[in-house]
Amino acid sequence: MAWTRLLPVADLPVGMARTVRVGLDDVLVCRLDDQRVHVLEDVCSHDDAPLGDQEIEGGCVTCPRHGARFDIESGAVRRSPAPVGIATYPARIQDSWVEADLED
């Protein structure tokens, strides 16, 4: 695994999701509680809208364009109109940073 540092965990309040740019792509970093973080691609599978900074509700993030919802752990669709889930990446908190393995 190749871990990439995304942001200090102190910069991401519990219950929030935040967009972080990595190279030419954006990922969505989600902090569920003090121990658990999740990282997803920041592109909706319906019409490619960025999901963007937001509050996590019911373990899901919501696309601001048409309202699709995605489970932050699995990337699975929880509400249409998204046709398929979005990618997730292994994530962890290490040395007070959120890190993810962004390799395929």
Of 63 and 102, nearer to ligand FES (C-beta) is 63
Residue ranges of E strands in the chain: 3-8, 16-22, 25-31, 37-41, 54-55, 60-62, 69-71, 77-79, 88-89, 91-94, 97-101
- Binding residue for ligand FES (CB under 6 A) from 46, 53, 56, 87? 46
- Binding residue for ligand FES (CB under 6 A) from 11, 16, 52, 66? 66
Of 27 and 63, nearer to ligand FES (C-beta) is 63
**Euclidean distance between CA atoms 19 and 22, whole angstroms:** 10
Judged by CB under 6 A, the stretch of 16-24, 28-36, 39-47, 89-97 that binds ligand FES is 39-47
Q: Which positions lie near ligand FES, rule CB under 6 A?
A: 44, 46-47, 49, 63, 65-68, 81-82
